[in-house]
């Protein structure tokens, strides 16, 4: 069998070569932005990082006994050096004093961050010493002590939040107490320090002995990751949506309010994600420090979150060593040392992942907590592999006596797994893989595979997240039974042929499971139970599922509410759930097509409704956030592969029949087989389909039946479109032109090559071309392990494969939903390379082929890392964001005369407020107006970033994609809507019109636009199903709300002009036409094309007509992001132009009146058309828009 290895490796090398050429062309064709990144500036930034790294590396290379403290100082100095070089190359240092302030800010961030991390370590050291966890203190125990301190710190933060005493003085007292504790622990800490110093000495020896350049390149790359990450996270506030809406937002609110806001309708109303504790503490720790720096608390929170990436890097490297040691080939009874080449490959893969588009984006831009979750997962794996190594290194005679001393490492692993799952349920995948690994070691490969199959079946029964799309409960039960049978066979074999220490293994696995469940029950169950009680939720049957696979906080604002609109997503582009179709059609026909007579506002205020009246005829919003996430990160529809080329040849092996439909979804395949009936929408074809599916149940049958009760929601065209979408997403079609394969069957290949993603410049989904070669190597690893009958490798690779299947089921294959799989993948690849290069039983040919493949991976990793750092360099902050790092910027001073209206000066206290005014100036008027609002006057916010900056966070409803608002207005009754919103304490509605962009231009996300705006007919002149914008237009037209503020001139006219004013410009229109017109004006950018600019021309004309009145002055102010008393200012124009000047005006009024007068002069001179057109277009097409409405 082993003779087959050379053929497998030869084939693997051939596949690598083919994929490099064919895949490389596809990769760069769909990642064209890399071409723009090949600039001297970006190369200069990379070289500056490498040059800065020479200081600590030179010391490490030349000093036989390097000291940790000396290394740390040199890293700090080199970070300061890089910071200055970075800003010099970026051109953001605008004065000679700026570098000093830059160094001061960098030193503060680094110093306080290290102080907190050291406090965690001291706490962990104390815990491990007092509890006598370890019988020996080595580097492994030093690292685990930090992990214990980290978990203890997170738990303490949760306690402080829960009791409402999360204030910065208390946190600083705790920090100081930890530092005092460190002094008392000095002798114990010195042992840890000696361990680190000994490690550095060993590292020095290894570097000098062999592969010096490889060591230096990987160390320099790791330091460069730290330098870039630290510098790029010095920003004034989060600039990405997820950070602004959750990952930084919730911790900020908790820190500002001293804990969670129990009973609050909005964010921070219950215990947040576990890692939020670290971020929230950073906000609090930095508050007193703002007196000596211009850096905001947000900056330190973002910067501290970046340390999770460093924890992943450091612990990941040591995890690689532990895993390679465990899987190192054996010779007689002695274990060989691990392969250094395999270690280098795994280190490079880890660095390539952390610096990839997705890996870097998670921390540098989106500030997600996923890397923090991965930190806890890696701690769990590190502790688990430590146990395995210690267990297998013991002499057999001593095993029974000493196993209790080493079992503690396995129990620590269980605790870390518990906390990682509490931080994010997707860490469950990593738990399963490690459990399969242990079961395989305890019993055999058969048992491990059986348990893995059972886990997949359980996903079908439990139905978490996307599981319903891939596996239904019936199929899940069958798979569970099959897995159970395989497990039984393996268990019986294991009992008949017991491995050494069978009973010891059994006790350890049972104990591991008990400790894991105990951790979950102790730290998570009470909170979930408390939430159910206060929410009066009597459904306790879902409690176990939520305990294991649910989020720690089930009431996380918009995410939880939006998911409830479609709890079992079918992942169709335009469908709601099948069970809601008939009810929705009834509502549509009864209500949406019959515009009922509404009461006016005065009459409505005198009318009362009970809860039953108000909830009648409400319908769920179309689409779901889960399904739209799928559209963004995986993609709907299919990828067509040509029959020629390598891909075509491979696919022919599996799908050999031409013009045939393949798939496991019987309804999808049946529709595919009858696809000719879907090409022409007609009742005759619908009748034919009804007959075909008359004995079946499910989504397809419900869709067909909905076609016989057409309404505003359902048209014949839409039914046939939905049916076509269904079969394309649930079957594989072969034809003369090629193979049509759904994108969801191609994960993660579609993400690597960016085939289906809607944004070709999306760093978020760029996981690197090297990922494909890692997956190919994983297949090679499985084949070679089978030929060698290497049981350890077989069940290890099988367990990793099982984890990928589970991720595919519960997370639809979305890469960032299961980051732990990245670690498992690189471990599997490393073990594979170790086996083919260092296994003494391999022949010379096998080893030579292995060396070629190893060289191939080195080339790929080097190329990928260069691309990654070029992309990271291109993301360097420029302009105000770059100048913010040095607290040095330019600000405008407003004068009192027209001749000297603005003057630019340099300020050395350039802070977050300065940057905010430049980026989000449109928010300022609204923030100021809402500053002193009553708590009961709630705000519903959709899509904007404004909620992050509001002073009062009470009663904030986040409705990112307008699901809630659309549902609240879905009976199309203005009076009832008014009472529903009032009952929910909503007074203000704040909307970013740009949230409709993805649904408008993104294939597969049309439901988002239908929910946001409306579903229109093919000419877009009639409403088929109303959405939030058309409902709001009706609401405003009926007199229930008024415009509060907007910088979108189209939206201003939509919500402030009377029916008569609109008719005078657009002609005679019915009430229904006026409603659609108002909605279109509010988001005019979606209805202005090169072929049809009529809407833009009308807006231009309205602006010009109003310009010589106070209304025109107000229009100009709105466009320029200002809110003024237009009537008052307009009345002052004669005195201002008569010689009184600008001295009595505010700065905003000075700017507006100056612009207004200049524009007036240009109109008189006949030179204003271009200027007006530019103003209007910037207002309508700008990315920073806001529409604020107020309930009357």
Q: Which residues have C-beta within 8 Å of that of residue 899, sequence separation ≥ 6? A: none
CA atoms of 1028 and 997, how far apart (whole Å): 15
Q: Output the pLDDT for position 814.
A: 66
Cβ atoms within 10 Å, residue 544 = 12
**Whole-number pLDDT of residue 551:** 54
Which residues are bridge partners to 425 per DSSP?
none
**CA 231 to mean position of chain CA atoms:** 21
Phi and psi, residue 328, nearest 5°? -60, 140
Strands, E assignment, 882-937: 889-894, 902-907
d(CA 976, CA 667): 41
Quickly list H helices, 463-607: 467-470, 473-496, 502-523, 525-534, 543-549, 558-563, 581-587, 601-605
Tell me if 424 sits within 8 A of 433, measured CB to CB.
no
* Helical spans, DSSP H, in 789-923: 791-811, 820-838, 844-874, 879-884, 912-919
Cβ within 8 Å of residue 276, ≥6 positions away: 247, 250, 251, 254, 369
DSSP 399-449: HHHHHHHHHHHHHHHHHHHHHHHHH-GGGHHHHHHHHHHHHHHHS-HHHHH
Whether 281 contacts 157, CB under 8 Å: yes
Under DSSP, the state recorded for 620 is P
Written in H, E and C, the secondary structure of 42-91 is: HHHHHHHHHHHHHHHHHHHHHCCCCCHHHHHHHHHHHHHHHHHHHHHHHC
Q: Which of 722, 877, 863, 735 is nearest to 237 (CA)?
A: 877
User: d(Cα 976, Cα 615) in Å, to the nearest integer?
Assistant: 9
Contact 637, 728 (CB under 8 A): yes
Element (H, E) at 940: strand 938-942
Task: Count the helix, strand and coil residues of the chain and give each as a percent rounded to the nearest 5.
Answer: 70, 5, 25
Rounded CA gap, 1019 and 998, in Å?
Answer: 20
The answer to whether 35 and 821 have CB atoms below 8 angstroms apart is: no
Task: Please answer whether residues 747 and 808 qualify as being in contact, where contact means their C-beta atoms are separated by less than 8 angstroms.
Answer: yes
> Residue 939 has what pLDDT?
92
In sequence order, the β-bridge partners of residue 903 are 893
SS3 1152: helix
Helix (H/G/I), strand (E/B), else coil: 710:
coil
* Residue-wise DSSP of 1027-1059: -HHHHHHHHHHTTSEEEEEES-HHHHHHHHS-H
CA dihedral 493, 496, 499, 505 (to 10 degrees): 80
Q: How many CB atoms lie within 10 A of CB 902?
A: 12
- 922 close to 1121: Cβ distance less than 8 angstroms: yes
Our separate counts of H helices and E strands in the chain read 56, 15
Return the bridge partners of 1046, or none. Answer: 1187
Distance, in Å, from the CA atom of 930 to the CA atom of 923, rounded to the nearest integer, reads 11
Whether residue 836 contacts residue 847, with contact meaning beta carbons closer than 8 Å, is answered with: yes
8 Å CB contact between 9 and 850 = yes
Q: What averages of pLDDT result for each successive group of 10 residues across the chain (1192 residues)?
A: 77 86 80 84 95 96 94 96 95 91 96 96 93 88 95 94 93 94 90 94 92 94 96 91 86 93 83 89 96 94 94 95 88 65 94 88 83 92 92 57 76 93 84 88 82 84 70 83 90 79 80 92 83 73 73 41 36 36 42 55 88 81 62 73 81 88 88 88 88 84 79 67 84 89 79 64 69 87 85 85 78 69 92 84 82 89 92 87 91 71 82 89 88 90 88 87 84 88 92 79 68 84 87 90 92 93 90 92 90 90 90 90 87 79 80 85 82 89 88 89
Rounded Cα distance between 193 and 17, Å, is 47
Question: Integer distance in angstroms from the first to the last C-alpha of the chain?
Answer: 81
Listed in sequence order, the residues at least 6 apart from 610 whose beta carbon sits closer than 8 Å to its beta carbon are none
How many whole angstroms separate alpha carbon 1028 and alpha carbon 1035? 10
How far from 566 is each of 267, 569, 583, 965, CA to CA, in Å?
22, 6, 14, 16
Residue 285 CA: distances (Å) to CA of 168, 301, 367: 6, 9, 18
Whether the link from the prior residue into 748 is cis, omega within 30° of 0, is yes
Residue 143's Cβ-side half-sphere holds a number of Cα atoms within 13 Å equal to 26
Residues in the chain: 1192
- Is 332 buried (19+), middle (13-18) or exposed (0-12) by CB count in 10 A? exposed
Distance between CA atoms of 490 and 440, rounded to whole angstroms? 10
CA distance 407 to 268: 39
Contact 423, 274 (CB under 8 A): yes
Phi, psi at 89, each rounded to 5°: -65, -35
Give me the half-sphere count of Cα atoms (radius 13 Å) on the Cβ side of residue 542: 13
CB 886, CB 915: distance < 8 Å: no
Encode 326-379 in three state secondary structure: HHCCEECCEECCCCHHHHHHHHHHHHHHHCCHHHHHHHHHCCCCHHHHHHHHHH
CB 244 within 8 A of CB 313: no
| 3-state SS assignment for residue 93 | coil
**Which H, E and C letters describe 1059-1117, residue by residue?**
HHHHHHHHCCCCHHHHHHHHHHHHCHHHCCCCCCCHHHHHHHHHHHHHCCCHHHHHHHH
From residue 93, alpha-carbon distances to 45, 105, 400, 885 in Å are 15, 14, 65, 9
């Amino acid at each position: 069998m082993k003779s087959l290895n050379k053929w497998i490796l030869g084939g693997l090398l051939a596949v690598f070569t083919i994929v490099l050429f064919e895949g490389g062309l596809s990769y760069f064709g769909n990642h064209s932005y890399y071409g723009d990144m090949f600039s001297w500036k970006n190369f200069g930034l990379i070289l500056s990082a490498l040059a800065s790294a020479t200081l600590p590396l030179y010391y490490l290379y030349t000093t036989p006994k390097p000291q940790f403290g000396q290394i740390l100082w040199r890293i700090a100095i080199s970070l300061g050096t890089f910071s200055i070089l970075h800003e010099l190359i970026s051109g953001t240092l605008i004065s000679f004093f700026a570098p000093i302030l830059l160094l001061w800010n960098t030193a503060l961030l680094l110093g306080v961050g290290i102080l907190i991390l050291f406090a965690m370590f001291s706490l962990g050291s104390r815990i491990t010493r007092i509890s006598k966890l370890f019988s020996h203190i080595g580097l492994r125990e030093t690292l685990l002590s930090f992990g214990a301190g980290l978990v203890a710190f997170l738990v303490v933060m949760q306690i402080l939040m829960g009791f409402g005493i999360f204030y910065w003085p208390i946190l600083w007292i705790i920090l100081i107490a930890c530092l005092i504790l460190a002094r008392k622990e000095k002798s114990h800490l010195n042992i840890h320090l000696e361990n680190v110093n000994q490690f550095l000495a060993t590292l020095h020896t290894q570097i000098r002995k062999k592969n010096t350049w490889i060591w230096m390149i990987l160390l320099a790359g790791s330091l460069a990751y730290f330098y870039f990450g630290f510098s790029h996270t010095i920003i004034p506030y989060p600039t990405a949506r997820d950070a602004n809406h959750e990952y930084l937002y919730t911790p900020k609110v908790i820190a500002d309010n001293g804990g969670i806001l129990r009973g609050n309708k909005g964010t921070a109303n219950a215990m947040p994600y576990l890692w939020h504790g670290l971020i929230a503490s950073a906000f609090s720790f930095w508050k007193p420090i703002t007196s000596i720096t211009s850096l905001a608390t947000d900056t330190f929170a973002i910067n501290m979150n970046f340390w999770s990436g460093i924890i992943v890097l450091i612990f990941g490297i040591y995890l690689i060593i532990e895993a390679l040691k465990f899987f190192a080939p054996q010779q007689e009874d002695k274990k060989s040392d691990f392969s250094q080449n395999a270690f280098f490959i795994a280190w490079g893969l880890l660095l390539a992942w952390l610096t990839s588009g997705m890996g870097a984006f998670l921390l540098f831009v989106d500030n997600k907590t996923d890397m923090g979750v991965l930190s806890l997962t890696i701690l769990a794996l590190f502790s688990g592999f430590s146990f395995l190594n210690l267990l297998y290194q013991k002499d057999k005679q001593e095993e029974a006596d000493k196993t209790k001393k080493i079992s503690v490492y396995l129990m620590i692993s269980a605790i870390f797994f518990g906390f990682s799952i509490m931080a994010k349920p997707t860490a469950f995948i990593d738990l399963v893989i490690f459990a399969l690994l242990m079961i395989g070691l305890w019993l055999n490969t058969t048992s491990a595979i059986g348990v893995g199959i059972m886990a997949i079946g359980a996903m079908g029964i439990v139905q978490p997240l996307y599981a319903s799309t891939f596996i239904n409960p019936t199929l899940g039960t069958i798979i569970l039974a099959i897995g159970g049978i395989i497990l039984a066979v393996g268990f019986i074999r294991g009992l008949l042929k017991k491995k050494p220490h069978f009973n010891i293994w059994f006790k350890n696995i049972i104990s591991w499971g008990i400790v894991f469940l105990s951790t979950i029950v102790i730290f998570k169950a009470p909170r979930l139970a408390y939430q159910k009680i206060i929410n009066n939720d009597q459904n306790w049957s879902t409690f176990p599922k939520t305990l294991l696979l649910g989020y720690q906080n089930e009431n996380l604002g918009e995410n939880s509410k939006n998911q409830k609109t479609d709890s079992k997503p079918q992942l169709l582009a335009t469908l709601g759930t099948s069970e809601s179709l008939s009810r929705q059609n009834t509502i549509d026909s009864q209500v949406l097509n019959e515009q009922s007579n509404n009461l006016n506002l005065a009459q409505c205020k005198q009318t009362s409704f009970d809860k039953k009246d108000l909830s009648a005829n409400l319908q769920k919003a179309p689409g779901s956030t889960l399904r739209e996430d799928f559209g963004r990160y995986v993609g709907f529809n299919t990828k067509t592969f040509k029959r020629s080329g390598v891909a075509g040849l491979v696919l022919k092996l599996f799908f050999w029949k031409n013009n045939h439909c393949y798939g496991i979804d019987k309804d999808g395949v049946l529709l595919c087989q009858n696809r000719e009936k879907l090409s022409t929408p007609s009742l005759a074809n619908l009748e034919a389909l009804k007959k075909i599916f008359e004995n079946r149940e499910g989504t397809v049958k419900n869709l067909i039946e909905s076609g016989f009760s057409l309404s505003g929601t359902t048209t014949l065209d839409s039914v046939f479109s939905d049916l076509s979408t269904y079969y394309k997403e649930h079957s594989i079609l072969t034809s003369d032109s090629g193979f049509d394969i759904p994108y969801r069957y191609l994960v993660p290949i579609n993400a690597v090559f960016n085939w289906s993603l809607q944004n070709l410049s999306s760093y978020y989904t760029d996981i690197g071309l090297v990922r494909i070669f890692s997956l190919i190597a994983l297949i090679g690893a499985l084949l070679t392990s089978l030929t060698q009958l290497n049981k350890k490798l077989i069940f290890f690779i099988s367990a990793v494969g099982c984890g990928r299947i589970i991720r595919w089921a519960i997370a639809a294959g979305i890469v960032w939903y299961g980051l732990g799989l990245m670690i498992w993948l690189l471990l599997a690849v490393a073990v594979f390379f170790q086996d083919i290069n260092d296994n003494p039983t391999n022949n010379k040919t096998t080893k030579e082929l292995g060396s070629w493949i190893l060289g191939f991976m080195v080339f790929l990793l080097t190329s990928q890392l260069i691309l990654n750092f070029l992309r990271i360099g291109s993301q360097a902050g420029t302009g105000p964001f770059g100048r913010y790092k040095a607290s040095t910027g330019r600000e405008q001073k407003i004068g009192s005369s027209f001749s000297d209206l603005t003057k630019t000066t340099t300020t050395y206290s350039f802070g977050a407020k300065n940057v905010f005014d430049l980026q989000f100036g449109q928010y300022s008027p609204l923030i100021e107006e809402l500053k002193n609002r009553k708590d009961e006057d709630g705000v519903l916010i959709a899509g904007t970033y404004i909620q992050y900056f509001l002073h009062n966070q009470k009663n904030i409803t986040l409705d990112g994609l307008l699901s809630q608002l659309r549902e609240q207005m879905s009976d199309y009754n203005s009076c009832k809507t008014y009472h529903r919103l009032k009952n929910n304490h909503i007074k203000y509605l704040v909307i970013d019109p740009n949230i409709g962009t993805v649904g408008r231009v993104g294939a597969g996300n049309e439901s988002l636009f239908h929910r946001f705006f409306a579903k229109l007919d093919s000419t877009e002149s009639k409403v088929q199903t109303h959405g939030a914008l058309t409902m709001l237009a009706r609401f405003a037209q009926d007199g229930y709300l008024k415009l509060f503020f907007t910088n979108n001139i189209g939206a201003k006219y939509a919500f402030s002009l009377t029916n008569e004013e609109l008719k005078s410009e657009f002609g005679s229109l019915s009430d229904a036409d006026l409603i659609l017109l108002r909605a279109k004006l509010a988001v005019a950018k979606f209805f202005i094309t090169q072929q049809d600019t009529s809407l833009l021309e009308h807006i231009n004309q309205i602006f010009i007509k109003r310009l010589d009145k106070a209304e025109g002055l107000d229009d100009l102010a709105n466009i320029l992001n200002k809110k003024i008393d237009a009537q008052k200012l307009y009345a002052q124009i004669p005195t201002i132009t008569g010689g009184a000047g600008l001295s009595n005006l505010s700065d905003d009024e000075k700017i507006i009146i100056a612009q207004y007068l200049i524009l007036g002069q240009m109109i008189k001179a006949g030179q204003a058309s271009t200027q007006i057109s530019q103003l209007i277009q910037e207002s309508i097409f700008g990315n920073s828009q806001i529409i604020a409405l107020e309930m009357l």
